[in-house]
Amino acid sequence: MAEGDEGSDQRQNEEIEAMAAIYGEEWCVIDDCAKIFCIRISDDIDDPKWTLCLQVMLPDEYPGTAPPIYQLNAPWLKGQERADLSNSLEEIYIQNIGESILYLWVEKIRDVLIQKSQMTEPGPDVKKKTEEEDVECEDDLILACQPESSVKTLDFDISDNRTEVEELPPIDHGIPITDRRSTFQAHLAPVVCPKQVKMVLSKLYENKKIASATHNIYAYRIYCEDKQTFLQDCEDDGETAAGGRLLHLMEILNVKNVMVVVSRWYGGILLGPDRFKHINNCARNILVEKNYTNSSVSGSSYYIYLENFSSLPGNFLKRQN
């Protein structure tokens, strides 16, 4: 590894640790290996009126010669307002080339949200959900930030005119990950209809070990050719926000017609945010192993993500040589 690459990696790790320490539960690890992170930013932490999710991926060249690749996720952020905010982030990068800028980006976005909340316009009409209590962690956890896309999240009930395949699909099991006596294992099955999702779950629960897991988190994505959209859903199974983060990972990887279940056997030691890293790594590994992704994503090959970062300014898409 070149000396410059080692320096960039060290600076990235230091910045990641600092962001996690500063923002706590607002900071979310999506994929630790590919260095993809998400942070929920609000105008007011105690009583948020406007909220936005900033998702970033750190290329190998950051912060030396390349900016973070980013996506802004908020249902209300559109048109000129989105363009203005993107331009502001780009200006911060240009003014601080070679420096770590994630903190500056977050606080700039927060300033924009505060200014917006001070205006007369009301906040977005969003139903508040009752948060589930996480028995394993002292602090509350945020739901994973969902990217904007033409996706529908549906229940198992679908229209009668949809042809369903009623055969139980094959189920593959991934290599377990163990950390501090907790064990995580992913299970994968191809699915083309919600009924197959139920069949896979029933089959897995026939296994006494899987049925006895502390959590069986799952998510699935089914592509509907006729409507050019996705049926998708997820389940936390008591591990607050884990299902949403798993589904988010599958969206980032752009997988379709597949279901992933991650079993977690709690070993008695609290893992904190590391448990989400293990859940996503288990899922990502088996999706790559079974060829549901174009390639194995690493920090040095990040082009496969570019389609998912629709808000990226044009000149940010150019890889620095």
Q: 11 and 83 share a domain? A: yes
What is the model's pLDDT at position 316?
38
What is the model's pLDDT at position 101?
92
Q: Residue 217 maps to which CATH number?
A: 3.30.230.30
What is the model's pLDDT at position 134?
37
Q: Residue 94 maps to which CATH number?
A: 3.10.110.10
pTM, 2 dp: 0.48
Q: What is the mean pLDDT of each run of 10 residues along the chain (321 residues)?
A: 62 89 84 87 82 89 88 84 89 89 92 83 44 33 33 38 65 92 93 91 91 92 84 87 87 90 90 88 91 56 35 35 31
Over the chain, what HEC string results? CCHHHHHHHHHHHHHHHHHHHHHHHHEEEEECCCCEEEEEEECCCCCCCCEEEEEEECCCCCCCCCCCEEEEECCCCCHHHHHHHHHHHHHHHHHCCCCCCHHHHHHHHHHHHHHHHCCCCCCCCCCCCCCCCCCCCCCCCCCCCCCCCCEEECCCCCCCCCCCCCCCCCCEECCCEEECCEEEEEEEEECCCHHHHHHHHHHHHCCHHHHCCCEEEEEEEEEECCCCEEEEEEECCCCCCHHHHHHHHHHHHCCCCEEEEEEEECCCCCCCCHHHHHHHHHHHHHHHHCCCCCCCCECCECHHHHHHCCCCCHHHHCCCC
Domain boundary among 97, 117, 137: 117
- The answer to whether residue 103 is domain-embedded is yes
What is the model's pLDDT at position 29?
86
Which range marks the domain in which residue 94 is found? 5-117
- The answer to whether residue 162 is domain-embedded is no
- The answer to whether residue 156 is domain-embedded is no
What is the model's pLDDT at position 293?
82
Q: 82 and 177 share a domain? A: no
- The answer to whether residue 313 is domain-embedded is no
- The answer to whether residue 126 is domain-embedded is no
- The answer to whether residue 213 is domain-embedded is yes
- The answer to whether residue 186 is domain-embedded is yes
Our count of domains for the chain comes to 2
Q: 189 and 271 share a domain? A: yes
- The answer to whether residue 314 is domain-embedded is no
Q: 188 and 102 share a domain? A: no
